[in-house]
A and B are shown apart, each in its own frame.
Chain A
């Protein structure tokens, strides 16, 4: 079974600075996908970014980038130029490819952006 570990329960970041959220995973599969979701205080789960295990380049989506280090089994999320609206809980998740639909979620990291 896959396991996702997010070791930072909470983080503070100054507005306009970058923040890195850690995510490590444990799997014996060669093919898998990694996801990050954002959950603001309003409660919805918002998809941010995806990285496939065979993707050679790190995924980027606007101010979000995924620092994928396959050998270390880590998939850290980097948020650049933090904004007050980035304050939320962030979840790392993984699914196996090959018709495996199940997402395994980490415990989440709460980010608070300070003005």
Chain B
């Protein structure tokens, strides 16, 4: 079975440009998470969707960040405009929410570099 798919794997852009990261969760999973990993802050949860609905976006850094999940098999994380401090690895993860402790499966990540 395919795992979580993310694209692109690497993105290099210039400050001020719009960046869109994409994620396809594991088929059948109903929860989707976007994380950001940096050396300074480790892994941070940005936003959590359940059944395509954003449940918790308290981790989204600021208004420059937005995330959507138009259907159960696709999600995007957009940064507009991008800044050098946004450089990080962005992970998408998915799980099957059974109301208990659910294992989150991560995608390979997108390494974003903003120049």
Contact = CB atoms under 8 A, between A and B. Distances in A.
Contacts of A64: none
A91 B43 CA distance: 10
A47 B103 contact: yes
A59 B31 CA distance: 24
Main SS at interface, chain B = strand
A45 interface: yes
Q: How large is the interface on B (under 10, 10 to 19, 20 to 34, 35 or more residues)?
A: 20 to 34
B28 interface: no
A107 to B, nearest CB: 6
B34 interface: no
Contact of B42 (A96, A102, A107): A107
B100 A97 contact: yes
A31 to B, nearest CB: 8
Nearest to B31: A101
Contacts of B107: 44
Contact of B108 (A43, A99, A107): A43
B42 A43 contact: no
A102 B22 CA distance: 21
Interface residues of A, number: 25
B21 interface: no
Contacts of B106: 37, 44-47
10 closest A-B pairs by beta carbon, nearest first, are A33-B101, A45-B106, A44-B108, A105-B43, A97-B101, A97-B100, A43-B109, A95-B101, A101-B48, A50-B103
Given A31-B101, A46-B106, A101-B95, 16 more contacts: A35-B103, A42-B108, A45-B109, A47-B103, A47-B105, A47-B106, A50-B101, A50-B103, A95-B101, A97-B101, A101-B31, A101-B97, A102-B48, A103-B45, A103-B104, A105-B42
16 contacts: A32-B101, A33-B101, A37-B106, A43-B108, A44-B106, A44-B107, A47-B104, A47-B106, A97-B100, A101-B31, A101-B56, A101-B102, A102-B45, A103-B45, A105-B42, A107-B42
Interface of B: 31, 33, 42-43, 45, 48, 50, 55-56, 89, 91, 93, 95, 97, 99-109, 111
